[in-house]
Amino acid sequence: MIVLVGLGNPGRKYVNTRHNVGFQFLDYLAREERTDFVLNKYFNAEIARTTIKDQDIFMVKPQSFMNLSGASVQGVISYFHVPVDKVWVIYDDVDLDLETIRVRKEGSSGGHKGLQSIIDCLGSAAIPRFRIGVKTKALEKIPTEKYVLQKFSPEEQRTIDKVLEKTRELILKALKEGIADVSK
């Protein structure tokens, strides 16, 4: 079983914001896999389930705010007895240019508070992650915490739609070949 965790903030206010690109990816994947999310109050997360490449996939969108995502993830993996290396996190990265995707098998949070919450709750940084770049020139003009809560422009959203497709291809490759082969 693989648990795909998309990071974001709950609520309509945050839909299509840069910080919610992890949620956007899981919504995209759920549409592609023809499955729906259901709110699970026990885990405080929206959860969808599918099978890809003969593997059970749980898609998890924590419904706490980004910086508290770890508790939901910890609850899911404890309940289903999923090892940490089978938790793959998808999230925004303001240090990467729009269109950039980086895959890492493990490492620090790089200052991303949502990922840091997961690392803290799981007690390990050996968590595979798919970082989606959201940086544009607009970041130079406003503070990061305001920038990540802005919605994508229509042009940026078209770019992100392509990035979501590419991220799906990387996930499929990782399911087939392993996360280490994708992160090289």
CATH classification at residue 86:
3.40.50.1470
∠ CA 17-85-100, nearest 5°, is 35
- % residues pLDDT > 70 (the chain): 98
115-133 pLDDT, tens per residue? Answer: 999 999 999 999 999 999 9
Burial of 159 (0-12, 13-18, 19+ CB in 10 A): middle
Determine the pLDDT at residue 178: 87
- Tell me the binding residues: 14, 65, 67
Exposure of 160 by Cβ count < 10 A (0-12 exposed, 13-18 middle, 19+ buried)?
A: buried
Residue 25 lies in domain: 2-182
How wide is the angle at C-alpha 122 spanned by C-alphas 33 and 27, nearest 5°? 20
pTM of this structure: 0.94
Query: 183 pLDDT exceeds 80?
Result: no
Position 21, amino acid: V
pLDDT over threshold 70, residue 109? yes
User: Could you list the active site residues?
Assistant: 19
Which residue ranges are tagged as binding site for tRNA? 14, 65, 67
Q: How many domains does the chain have?
A: 1
